[in-house]
Amino acid sequence: MTRTEFFATLAPHAIRARKEGSPLFVSVRLAQNLLETGGKIHSWNNLGGIKVGSGKPNEWWDGSYVKKGTWEVVNGQKVDTTAAFRAYKSIYHFYRDQDLLFQNKRYERVRAAKTPEEQAEALRLCGYATDPEYGLKICNIISMYNLKKYDQEADNKMQLSNYQWQRIETGVKSLLDRKIISDQGWLEKAQKRTLTRDELAWLTFELVANPR
Protein backbone atom coordinates (compact mmCIF):
# COMPACT_ATOMS: atom_id res chain seq x y z
CA MET A 1 0.00 0.00 0.00
CA THR A 2 1.44 3.36 -1.03
CA ARG A 3 1.29 6.37 1.28
CA THR A 4 -1.31 7.94 -1.01
CA GLU A 5 -3.49 4.83 -0.76
CA PHE A 6 -2.98 4.69 3.00
CA PHE A 7 -4.21 8.23 3.58
CA ALA A 8 -6.99 7.92 1.00
CA THR A 9 -8.32 4.85 2.82
CA LEU A 10 -8.26 6.43 6.29
CA ALA A 11 -9.18 10.05 5.55
CA PRO A 12 -12.97 9.56 5.10
CA HIS A 13 -13.20 7.80 8.48
CA ALA A 14 -11.03 10.43 10.20
CA ILE A 15 -13.07 13.27 8.68
CA ARG A 16 -16.30 11.61 9.79
CA ALA A 17 -15.00 11.24 13.35
CA ARG A 18 -13.90 14.88 13.40
CA LYS A 19 -17.30 16.07 12.18
CA GLU A 20 -18.91 14.01 14.93
CA GLY A 21 -16.91 15.79 17.62
CA SER A 22 -13.50 14.14 17.76
CA PRO A 23 -10.92 16.42 19.41
CA LEU A 24 -8.19 15.24 17.05
CA PHE A 25 -7.30 17.26 14.00
CA VAL A 26 -7.60 14.98 10.97
CA SER A 27 -3.98 15.79 10.06
CA VAL A 28 -2.75 14.74 13.51
CA ARG A 29 -4.78 11.55 13.43
CA LEU A 30 -3.55 10.49 10.00
CA ALA A 31 0.06 11.32 10.85
CA GLN A 32 -0.20 9.35 14.08
CA ASN A 33 -1.66 6.42 12.16
CA LEU A 34 1.30 6.36 9.79
CA LEU A 35 3.78 6.69 12.64
CA GLU A 36 2.18 3.89 14.64
CA THR A 37 1.65 1.42 11.78
CA GLY A 38 4.40 2.19 9.30
CA GLY A 39 1.74 2.57 6.62
CA LYS A 40 0.09 -0.85 6.93
CA ILE A 41 -3.54 -1.30 7.93
CA HIS A 42 -3.64 -4.57 9.87
CA SER A 43 -6.72 -6.74 10.13
CA TRP A 44 -7.15 -5.77 13.80
CA ASN A 45 -7.50 -2.07 12.80
CA ASN A 46 -5.54 -0.67 15.74
CA LEU A 47 -4.00 2.41 14.13
CA GLY A 48 -2.79 4.16 17.26
CA GLY A 49 -1.04 1.59 19.43
CA ILE A 50 -3.81 1.44 22.04
CA LYS A 51 -3.07 -1.32 24.53
CA VAL A 52 -5.66 -3.38 26.39
CA GLY A 53 -4.66 -1.76 29.66
CA SER A 54 -7.28 -1.61 32.41
CA GLY A 55 -10.04 -0.52 30.06
CA LYS A 56 -13.33 -2.37 29.84
CA PRO A 57 -15.16 -3.35 26.63
CA ASN A 58 -17.54 -0.73 25.30
CA GLU A 59 -19.71 -0.19 22.23
CA TRP A 60 -16.61 0.39 20.09
CA TRP A 61 -14.22 -2.22 21.51
CA ASP A 62 -15.51 -5.73 22.32
CA GLY A 63 -12.49 -6.84 24.34
CA SER A 64 -10.62 -8.51 21.49
CA TYR A 65 -6.84 -8.11 21.37
CA VAL A 66 -3.64 -9.26 19.71
CA LYS A 67 -0.19 -9.67 21.21
CA LYS A 68 2.73 -8.31 19.26
CA GLY A 69 6.20 -6.91 19.64
CA THR A 70 6.77 -3.23 20.26
CA TRP A 71 9.24 -0.91 21.95
CA GLU A 72 9.18 1.68 24.69
CA VAL A 73 11.61 4.30 25.92
CA VAL A 74 12.53 3.60 29.55
CA ASN A 75 14.94 5.87 31.38
CA GLY A 76 16.09 7.24 28.05
CA GLN A 77 16.75 3.80 26.58
CA LYS A 78 14.83 2.00 23.84
CA VAL A 79 13.57 -1.35 25.16
CA ASP A 80 11.99 -4.10 23.06
CA THR A 81 8.94 -5.71 24.60
CA THR A 82 5.65 -7.48 23.88
CA ALA A 83 2.22 -6.06 24.65
CA ALA A 84 -1.48 -6.81 24.20
CA PHE A 85 -3.11 -4.37 21.79
CA ARG A 86 -6.83 -3.84 21.31
CA ALA A 87 -8.37 -5.27 18.13
CA TYR A 88 -11.28 -3.57 16.37
CA LYS A 89 -14.01 -4.53 13.95
CA SER A 90 -13.29 -1.55 11.72
CA ILE A 91 -11.22 1.61 11.33
CA TYR A 92 -14.18 3.66 12.51
CA HIS A 93 -14.51 1.54 15.67
CA PHE A 94 -10.88 2.29 16.48
CA TYR A 95 -11.32 6.03 15.99
CA ARG A 96 -14.38 6.14 18.23
CA ASP A 97 -12.69 4.12 20.98
CA GLN A 98 -9.63 6.35 20.77
CA ASP A 99 -11.88 9.38 21.14
CA LEU A 100 -13.31 7.85 24.31
CA LEU A 101 -9.75 7.61 25.61
CA PHE A 102 -9.21 11.29 24.87
CA GLN A 103 -12.14 12.17 27.12
CA ASN A 104 -9.94 11.34 30.11
CA LYS A 105 -8.73 14.30 32.17
CA ARG A 106 -5.17 13.24 31.37
CA TYR A 107 -5.68 14.39 27.77
CA GLU A 108 -7.12 17.81 28.53
CA ARG A 109 -4.26 19.50 26.67
CA VAL A 110 -4.95 17.37 23.60
CA ARG A 111 -8.59 18.47 23.58
CA ALA A 112 -7.70 22.13 24.15
CA ALA A 113 -5.01 22.34 21.43
CA LYS A 114 -5.68 25.05 18.84
CA THR A 115 -3.32 23.87 16.11
CA PRO A 116 -2.14 20.49 14.79
CA GLU A 117 1.40 21.28 15.96
CA GLU A 118 0.21 22.10 19.47
CA GLN A 119 -1.88 18.96 19.56
CA ALA A 120 0.95 16.73 18.36
CA GLU A 121 3.16 17.97 21.18
CA ALA A 122 0.27 17.65 23.64
CA LEU A 123 0.05 13.95 22.82
CA ARG A 124 3.67 13.58 23.92
CA LEU A 125 3.27 15.74 27.01
CA CYS A 126 0.18 13.80 28.11
CA GLY A 127 2.11 10.55 27.87
CA TYR A 128 0.34 8.95 24.93
CA ALA A 129 3.70 7.48 23.91
CA THR A 130 7.10 7.17 25.57
CA ASP A 131 9.04 8.31 22.50
CA PRO A 132 10.50 11.76 23.39
CA GLU A 133 10.29 12.76 19.72
CA TYR A 134 6.68 11.65 19.27
CA GLY A 135 5.24 15.12 18.72
CA LEU A 136 8.03 16.16 16.38
CA LYS A 137 7.62 13.03 14.28
CA ILE A 138 3.89 13.66 13.89
CA CYS A 139 4.54 17.27 12.84
CA ASN A 140 7.13 16.14 10.28
CA ILE A 141 4.67 13.65 8.76
CA ILE A 142 1.95 16.31 8.57
CA SER A 143 4.31 18.60 6.71
CA MET A 144 5.78 15.91 4.46
CA TYR A 145 2.40 14.70 3.18
CA ASN A 146 0.49 18.00 3.34
CA LEU A 147 -2.06 16.48 5.69
CA LYS A 148 -3.57 19.81 6.74
CA LYS A 149 -5.61 19.69 3.56
CA TYR A 150 -7.76 17.10 5.32
CA ASP A 151 -8.37 19.52 8.20
CA GLN A 152 -9.69 22.02 5.69
CA GLU A 153 -11.89 19.37 4.12
CA ALA A 154 -13.37 18.43 7.50
CA ASP A 155 -14.05 22.06 8.39
CA ASN A 156 -15.52 22.92 5.01
CA LYS A 157 -17.93 20.02 5.17
CA MET A 158 -19.29 20.92 8.59
CA GLN A 159 -22.69 22.61 8.56
CA LEU A 160 -25.01 23.16 11.51
CA SER A 161 -28.75 23.67 11.41
CA ASN A 162 -30.64 26.19 13.54
CA TYR A 163 -31.75 23.35 15.78
CA GLN A 164 -28.17 22.20 16.28
CA TRP A 165 -27.04 25.72 17.21
CA GLN A 166 -29.90 25.94 19.70
CA ARG A 167 -28.81 22.66 21.28
CA ILE A 168 -25.24 23.92 21.52
CA GLU A 169 -26.43 27.13 23.21
CA THR A 170 -28.46 25.08 25.70
CA GLY A 171 -25.42 22.90 26.38
CA VAL A 172 -23.18 25.91 27.01
CA LYS A 173 -25.73 27.36 29.44
CA SER A 174 -25.75 24.03 31.28
CA LEU A 175 -21.96 23.98 31.58
CA LEU A 176 -21.99 27.56 32.88
CA ASP A 177 -24.81 26.92 35.36
CA ARG A 178 -22.96 23.91 36.77
CA LYS A 179 -19.71 25.93 36.88
CA ILE A 180 -17.90 23.41 34.68
CA ILE A 181 -16.85 26.42 32.60
CA SER A 182 -16.80 30.01 33.82
CA ASP A 183 -16.11 32.15 30.77
CA GLN A 184 -19.33 33.83 29.59
CA GLY A 185 -17.64 34.35 26.25
CA TRP A 186 -18.58 30.78 25.35
CA LEU A 187 -22.28 31.65 25.55
CA GLU A 188 -21.81 34.80 23.48
CA LYS A 189 -20.03 32.82 20.78
CA ALA A 190 -22.77 30.18 20.79
CA GLN A 191 -25.46 32.84 20.47
CA LYS A 192 -23.63 34.62 17.67
CA ARG A 193 -22.70 31.30 16.05
CA THR A 194 -19.04 32.20 15.90
CA LEU A 195 -17.66 29.12 17.65
CA THR A 196 -14.78 27.60 15.72
CA ARG A 197 -14.64 23.94 14.71
CA ASP A 198 -12.10 23.25 17.45
CA GLU A 199 -14.21 25.01 20.09
CA LEU A 200 -17.26 23.01 19.06
CA ALA A 201 -15.28 19.77 19.36
CA TRP A 202 -14.07 20.77 22.83
CA LEU A 203 -17.58 21.69 24.00
CA THR A 204 -18.95 18.40 22.68
CA PHE A 205 -16.47 16.42 24.73
CA GLU A 206 -17.10 18.51 27.85
CA LEU A 207 -20.83 17.83 27.52
CA VAL A 208 -20.24 14.12 27.04
CA ALA A 209 -17.82 13.97 29.96
CA ASN A 210 -20.16 15.98 32.20
CA PRO A 211 -23.73 14.81 31.55
CA ARG A 212 -26.54 16.20 33.63
Residue pLDDT, tens place only, 48-92: 989 888 888 999 999 999 987 665 666 666 766 677 899 999 999
Q: How confident is the model at residue 172 (pLDDT cuts 50, 70, 90)?
A: very high
The one catalytic residue in 5, 62, 72, 133 is 72
Do 152 and 68 belong together in one domain? yes
In this structure, what CATH number is given to the domain that contains residue 107?
Answer: 1.10.530.10
Among 156, 180, 200, the domain-final residue is 156
Choice among 16-20, 67-71, 206-210 with the minimum mean pLDDT: 67-71
Number of domains making up the chain:
2
Q: How confident is the model at residue 158 (pLDDT cuts 50, 70, 90)?
A: low
Q: 65 lies in which domain range?
A: 3-156
CB 197 within 8 A of CB 114: no
Do 177 and 128 belong together in one domain? no
Do 47 and 67 belong together in one domain? yes
Do 148 and 84 belong together in one domain? yes
Q: Is 72 a catalytic residue?
A: yes
Do 51 and 149 belong together in one domain? yes
Do 198 and 147 belong together in one domain? no
DSSP state for residue 106 in the 8-state scheme: G
Do 117 and 89 belong together in one domain? yes
Scanning 50-196, the segments in alpha helix (DSSP H) are 91-101, 108-112, 116-125, 134-144, 148-156, 162-177, 185-192
Do 170 and 129 belong together in one domain? no
pLDDT at 107 over 90: yes
Q: How confident is the model at residue 44 (pLDDT cuts 50, 70, 90)?
A: very high
Backbone angles phi, psi at 113, to 5 degrees: -60, 140
Which tens digit of pLDDT belongs to each residue from 114-149? 999 999 999 999 999 889 999 999 999 999 999 999
How does 183-206 read in b/e, with b if 16+ C-beta sit within 10 Å? eeebeebbeeeebeebbbbbbbbb
The one catalytic residue in 97, 99, 151, 198 is 97
Q: Is 131 a catalytic residue?
A: no
Do 87 and 166 belong together in one domain? no
Do 79 and 172 belong together in one domain? no
Q: How confident is the model at residue 152 (pLDDT cuts 50, 70, 90)?
A: confident
Mean pLDDT of the chain: 89
Among 138, 156, 174, the domain-final residue is 156
pLDDT > 70 fraction of the chain, expressed in percent and rounded: 92
CB 195 within 8 A of CB 168: yes
The mean per-residue pLDDT over the stretch 32-36 comes to 97
CB 96 within 8 A of CB 154: no
Do 38 and 85 belong together in one domain? yes
Among 136, 156, 176, the domain-final residue is 156
Q: How confident is the model at residue 155 (pLDDT cuts 50, 70, 90)?
A: confident
Do 173 and 202 belong together in one domain? yes
